[in-house]
Amino acid sequence: MRILVTGGAGYIGSHMTRLLVKAGHTPVVLDSLEFGHRQALPSSVKLYVGNVSDEKILKQVFQNKIDAVIHFAGYISVPESVTNPTKYMVNNFLSPIQLLIALVRYSIKYIIFSSTAAVYGQPETVPIPESHPKNPTSPYGLSKLCFEQVLGYYDRQFDLKSISLRYFNACGANPNGRFGEDHSPEGHIIPNAIKAAINHTPFTLFGTDFPTPDGTCIRDYIHIDDLCSAHLLALDALKNGHKTGVFNAGTGTGHSNQEIIKVIKKVAGDFPVKLAPRRPGDPAKLVADSTRLQKELGWKPRSSDISTIIKSAFKWHSSHPKGYSDRSFA
């Protein structure tokens, strides 16, 4: 298949693009490069620089006879969404409507959507099933939930089939250390703590008063390779007649921030930790019930042991301390 990957030069999108090439597909990437990196992409992949809201560039992209879309493009910072909700609702919800209009215009029948566990808000039950009430505590989570719901309407009205994958915490890097996470600014605990260990600088731990065993929030960490494999399975499922739906993408195992710091110190070395108040919008505990993803799509996490995740991330960050800016493409 010829597959459009929006946000395909970003962290998850670029890993997905390489997996698609490996699986025999032909990815076409649309990325604004606001946060993405050309160096993260295989040289053989066609890249269009622009936004999914731009009708002119969408027209150019769809001249490639696209068969399906995997939509990653979006802003991802929960704290920023709380302070700037308009930015997130416009970019994550309103702008991609133009993409859906184009899918209908060009008779594209399949889309995989990068959603989030943030749609659930403060969980009432853990692990969290897909049927859990949706009460997002941040505009980020709300923007993703709104787009999920619009996808449901587009299925009923235009027969556009979709699978939304609700991510928990995507993390880790390519096992050979050549490709990894390079955000600026970086808001995720694993890369920030690893950088603190490498640079011998303090790491800021946000929130020590959560209602958890050690007072720090608990998250479900899924290796980037396992997450991308779920997208490939979802795409195959739609091709084989699976109905529109949503799936949690997580391992079902939670780790507290204190646990993560302990493993990183073991792998990367010691570093000082500064305590700070909670970040706005952060739930205490997010752990996936991914039973449906495993049973319906045959997905299994293979690289998401927390030690494996952190070792792969450390290999990337230690060999590329400035991210993609200090490496040439090979």
Nearest Cα neighbor of 89 from 147, 168, 153 is: 147
Note whether 111 and 162 are within 8 A (CB).
Answer: yes
Which DSSP state fits 92? I
CA distance 168 to 128: 10
Has 88 been annotated as catalytic? no
CA distance 91 to 97: 10
CA distance 269 to 199: 10
User: Which two three-digit tokens encode residue 21?
Assistant: 């090439």
Q: Which of 88, 140, 154, 221 is catalytic?
A: 140
CA distance 227 to 304: 9
> What's the farthest any 2 CA atoms get from each other in the chain?
56
CA distance 288 to 65: 36
- With b for 16 or more beta-carbon neighbours within 10 A and e for fewer, the 41-70 pattern comes to beeebebbebbbbbeebbeebbeeebbbbb
- Could you give the 3-state DSSP secondary structure of residue 146? helix
List, by residue number, the catalytic residues.
140
